[in-house]
A and B are shown apart, each in its own frame.
Chain A
Amino acid sequence: MTGARSERWTPVLFLAPAVVALLAIGLYPLLLALTTSFRTYLVAKPNLPKDFVGFANYAAVLGDPTFWQALGRTFLFLLVVLPIELAVGLAIALLLHQPGLSLLRALLRLSLVIPLATTFAVVGLIGRLMFNDQFGVVNHLLGIVGIAPVQWLGQPTTAFLAVALMDIWQWTPFVALVLLAGLTMVPAEIEEAAKLDAGGAWAILRHIQLPFLLPGITAVLILRTADILKLFDLIFVMTRGGPGSATELIAVYIQRIGFRVFDQGIASAQAILLLIVTIVLSRLYIRLVYREVA
C-alpha cells in the first residue's frame, strides 16, 4: 500500500521542481504584468498612489499612434527578414543534406552555431562596427566593387536594412539547422525511389521533403515571430531605435515606456497586447502551415 502510494507520488516529485520554476518565472510575472496593466504604476514616482484604472491603460495604448507605428515597423521587419531567413536557411539545409559532403557538413554545422551562440548585444556591437561608415567592413567591401560609402546607420532606410541584415546573419543558421533536422527525417528509400523515378530537385522538395519540413517551418515561424516581437538588445546597442524612429520596433518602444519613462502600467498593457498578438499569430501559423506527415 505504502509502496503504491510512493510510486504514485514519484513522478509528481520529479516534475515538481520544473513546475515550480515555470510558475515562478513564467506564470507569476505574467500575472503581475496583467494586474499592473490595470493600475497606475509610475515606478519613479513612488509617492503617487497605484490606483486601479480599469481598461484606461489599454485605451491609452490603443490610442497611441507611436505604439501602432512601432508595431507596424515590427511587422515590416518580420516580413523582410523571415522570408529571407527561410529561403537561405532552406538552401543551406539542402546543401548540407547532399550525400558525400561529410567534411563540409561538419565544418558548416560548426560554423552555423557561432552566430547562434553570440548574444544579441554583442551582435549589435559587431553590427555597429561592420556598418560604420568610416572603417566598417561592409563599406570596405562595397568600395572594392566601386560603390561609394553608405551612411548605413545615419539614414532611416539603410539603418533599418542594417539591423535586418544582422538579424538575418544571426538567425539564418538556426533556420538551416531546424530544416536540416527535418530533412534527416525523410526516409532514404523514398528519396532514392523519387530520384530513380527521374524526379527533379524541385519535385522532390515539393512532394517528398516539404511534408517533413512543415513542422520545422511552423516552429521557425512561431519562434522567430516571438523573437522579433521582443527584439530589443540588438537594436538598442546598434541604433537605440534611431535615427528618428526608423528602427524603433515594438520591444524598444515598450522598454522606453517601462524603463525610461517608468510607466509600468502602460508598459504592462503594451506587453499584454503584444502577448495576444503573438498567440494569435502562433495559432494562425499552426492552422495554415503545420501538417503532420501522412
Chain B
Amino acid sequence: MDYTNKEYYTNRELSWLKFNERVLSEARDAALPFFERMKFLSISSSNLDEFFMVRVASLKDMVNAKYTKPDLAGMTPEEQLKALSEAIHEFVKLQYATYQKMIQPQMKELGIHLIEHHEELSKSQAEYVDRYFENQVYPVLTPMAVDSSRPFPLIKNKSLNICALLDKKDSKKEETEFATVQVPSVLDRMVRIETKDSEGITLIRLEEVIERNISKLFLNYNVLGASPFRIMRNADLTIEEEEAEDLLKEIEKQIKKRQWGEVIRLEVEDGIDKRLLKILKKELHIATEDIYQIGGPLDLTFLMKMYSLEGFEEYKEKSFTPQPVPELPEGCSIFEEVKKQDILLHHPYQSFTPVVRFIEQAAADPDVLAIKQTLYRVSGNSPIVRALAQAAENGKQVSVLVELKARFDEENNIVWAKMLEKAGCHVIYGLVGLKTHSKITLVVRREEDGIRRYVHLGTGNYNDATAKLYTDLGLLTCSEAVGEDATAVFNMLSGYSEPLGWNKLSVAPLWLKKRLLTLIRRETEHARNKRVARIVAKMNSLCDPDVMAALYEASSAGVEVYLLVRGICCLRTGIKNVSENIHVYSIVGDYLEHSRIFYFENDLQPEIYLSSADWMPRNLERRVEIMFPIEAPQLKERVMQILDLQFRDNVKKRTLLPDGNYKIITDEDAPVNCQEIFRREVMQKTKQLKRDAAKKQRVFIPKTHIES
C-alpha cells in the first residue's frame, strides 16, 4: 500500500491558513467577550504578517531559484503561491468584514468612538488633533521626497508609511513628485482625543493625524493625494553558518540585512490614487497579485492596544492568576520535594514560578555544583537569566545554550547571551546547522550520599511571560536515569561525542524520529495481532511525511488514532482504507495550546511521552529536541486526564472534516470548555489546600491582657 499518494495530503501552507481562519473565527464568535474578539482579530493579522515574512518568502525564493519539486500534496511552489494568493485575498476580505460589521458597531455601542477618517473630525476635535500633530508628531517625522537626485528611500519592513503625490507650487510644468513619510513607531498608533464636547472615548489613528497635516511637511508643494501603505519583506534569515566565524556577529549582520529583503506584499488602502500605486508598484518591484487593496485601516494589530483601555472589565475575560503547585508549597526547598517524588507542572493553570525558584534556589545553594540550561525564547528582564548570572557569580559552573536562531527573537537573544557571558557563564551560541529547541535544565547537586542530578524538562520555553498564556507541561525529577541522559545531552551540546546509549530520553535530530516511528509501528503490530492499540497525541503541527505515512499505515491496520493538532495538519481524515480510523481535532482558545503529549496504548501497557517537538521535519530533523517519558503512575494518570478533558471539549474544539474544513460540534446542553475547566479545577484545588491548612491550625490563640 502506497501511503505517499498526493491525494492523501493537504498542502501545509493552506493548512496553516485554515488555522488562521480558526483564529479569526474566534474574533467572529459573539459568545466571546468583545475585547477578546478584538484581540483575536489582531492576532490573526500579526500571524499573517509572520506567515508572509517566512513562508511566502521562502516559496518566493523557491520560485526565483526555479525550484519546481512538488510538495506532498503535489503542488509546485508556483502553484502554492497562486493558491495562497487567492486564499489570502479571501481571508483578508473576511478579516475586514469582521472589522467593519462586527467590531466597529460594537465599539460604538460601548461608547468608543474610533474616528476612521480625519475628514469626520469635528472642529474642536480637529483643533486638538492639529495641536497634537505640531507638538508631538511633527518633530519626529522624516519626510522623504524622490527626484532625480534623491533615490527612492528604504521603506522598513512592516512599518506603516504615508505616501504623497506633490505638485510644486508656482511651477508651470505639469510634473508631479513622489514623497513618503514613515508613521513613527515611537508614538502610540491610537491617539485619544480629549475635547470638552466629545463623549465617552474618542480615538483616531496616528496615520490619519499625519495625513490631515501632510501639507505642513511639504510647504512648497501642493499635495495632490496621500495614502497609507505598508510592505512586507522576505525575512527568512539565510546564515552561512559554515563560513560564519562568529555566529553572534553573523546574526547581527543578517538582522541589519533583513531590512533590505525583497518586498513580497504591499498593502494599500482602497481608493489610493492610481498614480501613487503605480509609483509604488514600480519602485518596490511588486506584482499585481501581491498587492492587497484593503477596505479599512492597514495593520489591524492596533486592536491589541485597545485591550489596555481601562474599564470595560465585563467585556474582557476575567483575569486569571496561575495557581500554586500543591506539591511545591511556598517557601519549600524544591530539591527536597523533588527528592520525594516526580512533580508535574501544568501551565498556565499552575504557576511557572516554581521553575524560576528551582533555578534561583540552585543559584544560591552552596551544595549545587553546576547548572546547565537551554534558552530558546526568554522574556524581557527574565528572572531566569538573572538567576543564572547570579549562580555564575556565586561560583557555580553555569552553562547556557542560547539559541540565537529563534526566529524574530534574534536581537533579543543576543542581548542575553552577552549579559550571561559577562557574568561568567559558559555560553554556547547554538549548534552549526541545528536549532536547539529542547527545553531542559540540569542542576548538579552534591549531597550526603554523592552527586544527585535534578532535571526540569518541558514542552514550553523558559519564558515566565508566555508561561501565563501558553498551555504547557513540565516535569521536575531527580531520577538517576534521566539525570544521566540530561548530562549526556549537555555534553553533546558542548561538542562532545554522543553517549553510548540513552536511558529515557529520545533526542532529535539523531534518535527521536526513529523512536517515534517505532512507537507508532508497535501500535500497528498490536492492531494486526488483535491486541489493544491506540494512539492519542497532541501537538502544534503535524506535517512530517514519514510520521504521517506511519499513521496512515497504523490506521489501516486498525489502530484508533486521535490527534489534537492546534495548527498545521497535512494529514487528511476519512480516506477509505487509509485514514478512516484517524480523528483530528484542533483547539483554539484563550490560551495558546502548546504542549506536546503522546500516548501509546501498547496493548494495555500505555506509555506517555512529553516533548518539545512537533511532528514536523524541521523539529525531527533539523532541531535539537527531546522527548521524555512520564513514568510515575500518578503523573501518568494526570496527563491522561488532561488529554481526556481536552478531547471532551465541545466549545473550542474543532473537528477536521474529510473536506479539509474544521467544524465545532457543540453540545448546547453540556458544554465543555477544557481551558475553562482547568482554570476552575486549579482554583478549587488552591481553596481546598487553604482550607486544609486552616484545619491544621488547631491551636487556639488566647487573647491576653497586655499591660500598657
Do these two chains interact?
A: no
Which residue numbers of A lie inside 8 Å of B, CB to CB?
Answer: none
